[in-house]
Copies of this chain bind each other. A is one copy, B any other.
Amino acid sequence: MEKDFGRFRNILIIGLGLIGGSIAVSLKNSGYKGKIYGFDLSEDRVKKALEMGAVDKAFTELKKIPWEKLDLVIIATPVKTFEKVAKQIKPYLKENVVVTDVGSVKGELVKKLQSILKPVKFIGAHPIAGTEKEGIENSVAGLFKGKKLILTIDEEDERTKRVEKFWTDLGAKVEIMDPYTHDFVFASVSHLPHAVAFALVDALIELSKETGIDLFLYPGAGFKDFTRIAASSPMVWKDIFIENKENLIHTIDRFTQSMEKLKRYIEEEEQQRLLDILSEIRDKRLSLEKEGSDV
C-alpha cells in the first residue's frame, strides 16, 4: 500500500522531546509531504527543532498555532501533563481533528482524555520504542521502524484506521488493545523491570554505605546490561510509576513473592526445586531469543 501517513496533511506535535522529535524527523525522512508544526513551552527546544529542520513551524504560544489547518494533533509531553494539555487545547480544536498521544500509560487516562476532548476524537497510542536518552537533540529517524505500537481503541472507524496507517507508514507494527489490558501488560513488562532496576541500584548504594566498600567498582558480568535502564529519566519514570500505580503495585507484589520463593529455596538448600525453577525460567527466557523479537 502506498505511503500516505493516513492522509493527515497538517500535523501538530505538542512537546518537542525525544519522542516528539523522532516522529518529526522520521516523517521528514520517510518522504512525508504535509506540514509539521511543533509546540513547546521551551524557547530553547523550539529553536533546536527549527534548526534541525524537524518541524516547518514551531510555537511557544498556543494561540499562535494555525488550528484551522490541523487534521492531527499528537500529544508528546510527559504523561502527567496530558489532562492539562487536553483542557488547554480543547477550545482551539475543530471537531474533525484527530487527537492522539505517545504515552506509556493508557487505562483510565484514555477515558478521561476522551471525555475532556469530546466531541473531538481521541485515540490512545503507545509506541514501544525509545532510548534512555532524552531531548530533541537525541531524536532518531527510524526510531519506530519494526517496533510495536499499541493503539487503544473501543471501536474501529475511519479515524482509527487513519491513525493506524500513519504509524504503519512510519514502520511500526500496530497492535490494537483495550486500554486497561495495555496498562497491566506494560506494568509487567516495562514498568516493573524499571522499578526493579532502580531498586537494585538503590540496594547497592545502601550496601556500599553499610560496609564502606564501593561496590560500584566491581560491576560483575551482566551488571551493566541489567542496570542500563536505571539510567532512564527520573522525571518520566516518576510520572509513569504514579500514573499506573495500581497495576504496578500488583506486579511488584507478585515479583516480591517470586523473590521470596527463590530466597526460601536458597535458605533451605532445596537443590531440586531450585534447579527446576531456574531451568523453567531459562527456557522461558530463551524462547524470547527464538521468536526473534526486535527489542
Residue of B nearest to A293 (CB): B219
Measured between beta carbons, the chain B residues less than 8 angstroms from A91 are none
**A106 adjacent to chain B (CB < 8 Å):** no
For chain A, give the interface size range: 35 or more
A280 to B202, CA, bound (A): 8
Q: Does B195 contact A215, Cβ atoms closer than 8 Å?
A: no
Q: What are 13 residue pairs bridging A and B, where the CB atoms are less than 8 Å apart in the complex?
A: A193-B222, A193-B223, A207-B254, A219-B288, A219-B295, A221-B295, A222-B229, A230-B281, A231-B285, A234-B282, A235-B275, A238-B271, A252-B263
Q: Does A216 contact B248, Cβ atoms closer than 8 Å?
A: no
Instruction: Choose the segment among A22-30, A107-115, A181-189 that binds chain B (4+ C-beta atoms closer than 8 Å).
Output: A181-189
A275 with B200, Cβ < 8 A, contacts A185-B218, A225-B225, A259-B195 known: no
* Per-residue B-contact encoding for A245-283, CB less than 8 Å = 1, 0 else: 100110110111111111100110101001101111110
A269 to B249, CA, bound (A): 12
